[in-house]
Amino acid sequence: MRDVGIGLIGSGFMGKAHALAFAAAATTFDLPIRPRYVVLADIDSAMASAAAARLGFARSTGDWRTLVADPAVELVDITAPNALHEEMALAAIAAGKHVYCEKPLAATAAAAERMARAARSAGRITQVGFNYLKNPIIALARSIIAKGEIGDVVGFRGIHAEGYMADPATPWSWRHDPAGGGGAIADLGSHIIAMARFLVGPIAALTAQMSTVVKRRPVARGSAETRPVAVDDQAQLLVRFASGATGTIEASWIAPGRTMQLAFEITGTQGSLAFTQERFNELQLYRAGGPAGRQGFTTITAGPEHDPYGAFCPAPGHQLGFNDLKTIEVRDLLLAIGGAGAGGPDFHEGWQIQRVVDAAILSARERRWIEID
């Protein structure tokens, strides 16, 4: 077994989630590679120091460049705001590091492309944090499709809706700035686009509409001063996949009451699948051709047959949680670094997802279909 030195940038919620995931991956799985917690960077060096102590990192720094330059760091893990992803990742790649980056990969497809190309040129392992793809029940869905159990996929109906921006009193933030690459379509839409690509393949064309429902937001909670919101609150897309399948994709962050409606229905010629992240240990499967009067959707509950559920629990139905998906993501990354797996989604995939986001924004502006080669 060999160690891989981790340099973690960011000590907020996602930084903590990553640190926990590295520890959990090492304990949960029997891996050929072991994380070593080398250095933690945060713009606030006091916070960096405190977080390093709590999360078990050997050193801390207030300057991420120090972290990137650290020879003991083999993997740079970026949980900083989106706008910083490109600079950090390019520097890390240039320093010969592998890079793990939270989603969305970048504010624009152009930036994502630069990151993907740099990583490929340098031969570095990369991974983007689309952790919902790591769900064993999603792996099952993909396997069901790949084995032809529902025939050919002809339809996809996907959405990611939450309600965290529904309240107009929620203040303006960097998420409302188009420099960040889009609103709901980037923040949530990227998840359902990633899911669509993972399950049905590349999107060849789309047309979209977007709307900004809360047109101005206070600069701070309770403030009378407001700033305009220049990104979408809701986005709706018609999509055509390269396979010929057609469908819809939607994103909303103003859906009251929705907390995790990352959901899809897939129509095949011989069956159907339905899923929602609200109950992400379950998959609904319908297969044509069963006995008359006994047909219907079957609720499959995640269990040890659905790898790698069994590493977490030997009994079915006990349920994985959000952080367990992150743990699987980290396992895949460590396996890829150890040469024992494909990892992914990597920067190339992150770029392709961002291309769909960018095309949707363009389509909505120009009110026309956009082809994506």
**Footprint (CB under 8 A) of its own copies, residues 217-256:** 234, 236-238, 240, 244, 246-248, 250, 252, 254-256
User: Which residue in 201, 243, 260, 338 binds its own copies (CB under 8 A)?
Assistant: 260
Question: Given candidates 177, 319, 338, 341, which one binds its own copies under the rule CB under 8 A?
Answer: 319
| C-alpha closest to that of 85 among 48, 49, 116 | 116
- Minimum CB–partner distance for residue 171 and its own copies (Å): 16
User: Nearer Cβ to its own copies, position 227 or 279?
Assistant: 279
Q: Which stretch binds its own copies (CB under 8 A): 94-102, 107-115, 265-273, 341-349?
A: 265-273
Cα 331 to chain centroid, rounded? 15
Catalogue the long-range contacts made by 276-285 (C-beta closer than 8 Å, 24 or more residues apart).
277/132, 280/132, 280/135, 280/137, 280/320, 281/137, 281/317, 281/319, 281/320, 282/137, 283/137, 283/140, 283/141, 285/144, 285/149, 285/150
- Is residue 13 a contact residue for its own copies (CB under 8 A)? yes
- The residues that bridge with 101 in the sheet, in sequence order, are 78, 128
- The phi and psi torsions of 343 (rounded to 5 degrees) equal 65, -155
The region of 17-25, 57-65, 170-178, 186-194 touching its own copies under the rule CB under 8 A is: 17-25
Contact status, residue 37 vs residue 22, Cβ threshold 8 Å: yes
Residue closest to 203 by CA, chosen among 187, 188, 192 = 192
Query: Which residues are 251's β-sheet partners?
Result: 160, 235
Cα atoms in the 13 Å half-sphere on the side-chain side of 306:
27
List the interface residues with its own copies, window 136-165 (CB under 8 A).
140, 150, 154-155, 157, 159, 161-162, 164
- Report in angstroms how near the CB of residue 73 gets to its own copies at its nearest: 20
Which residue stretch of 54-62, 173-181, 333-341, 347-355 sits at the interface with its own copies (rule: CB under 8 A)? 54-62
For the bound state, the minimum distance from the C-beta of residue 373 to its own copies, rounded and expressed in Å, comes to 17
Find all residues with CB under 8 Å of 135, minimum gap 6, and list them: 280, 302, 320, 325, 328
DSSP state of 180: G
Site for its own copies in 80-139 (CB under 8 A): none
Q: Which of residues 54, 215, 221, 365 is near its own copies by CB under 8 A? A: 54
- How distant is the alpha carbon of residue 86 from its chain centre? 17
Smallest distance from the beta carbon of 332 to its own copies, in angstroms? 18
Instruction: Restricting to residues 329-358, name those near its own copies by CB under 8 A.
Output: none
Q: Which of 305, 340, 362, 365 binds its own copies (CB under 8 A)?
A: 305
- For its own copies, the binding residue among 36, 197, 217, 306 (CB under 8 A) is 306
195 binds its own copies (CB under 8 A): no
Q: Give 152's Cβ-side CA count (13 Å radius).
A: 6
Task: Please say which residue, 55 or 105, places its beta carbon nearer to its own copies.
Answer: 55
Distance (Å, whole) CA 116 – CA 68: 18
> CB-wise, 9 or 214, nearer to its own copies?
214
- Least distance to its own copies, CB of residue 106, Å: 22
Tell me the number of residues near its own copies by CB under 8 A: 91
Is residue 207 near its own copies by the rule CB under 8 A?
yes
